Homo-oligomer: A and B are copies of this chain.
């Protein structure tokens, strides 16, 4: 049926199941990062823990990445096809303080940062807050 989606899942070594197809679909059609709760809301009767574990699988297999935008809930977004979740794939994220939506700014890679002596860079989470295009007065 949803052969497109199954292909995406299998590309990342994820066995396609009904649940996984559904969660993938939600992440794909919303073009922003979504929290566990927000994903749950888009279904009628789907178990939170199942979605949770689905997201965990997706993240382990590098199909999605997560952002902690400071809103209280971690949000998840699809990676690009060629993403390996390495340092080169890190990008800015934007949290709109009006509508609460979180956007991946995938074309804005985060820059190298010169740290003080003794600090070693491994990873980064750069979140910018403000108003998004939909919320301009």
Contacts and interface: CB of A to CB of B under 8 A. Distances in A.
Contacts of A105: 115-116
Contacts of A120: 130-132, 136
Interface residues of A, number: 30
Nearest to A118: B133
Contacts of A108: 113, 115-116
Looking at A105, A107, A121, A128, the one whose CB has the most chain B CB atoms below 10 A away is A128
Given A68-B68, A92-B113, A113-B92, A124 B122 contact: no
A124 B128 contact: yes
A125 interface: yes
A122 B70 CA distance: 14
A13 interface: no
A125 B127 CA distance: 5
Contacts of A94: 115, 119
A76 to B, nearest CB: 14
A129 B124 contact: yes
A131 B121 CA distance: 7
Contacts of A82: none
Interface of A: 68, 70, 92, 94, 97, 103, 105, 107-108, 113, 115-133, 136
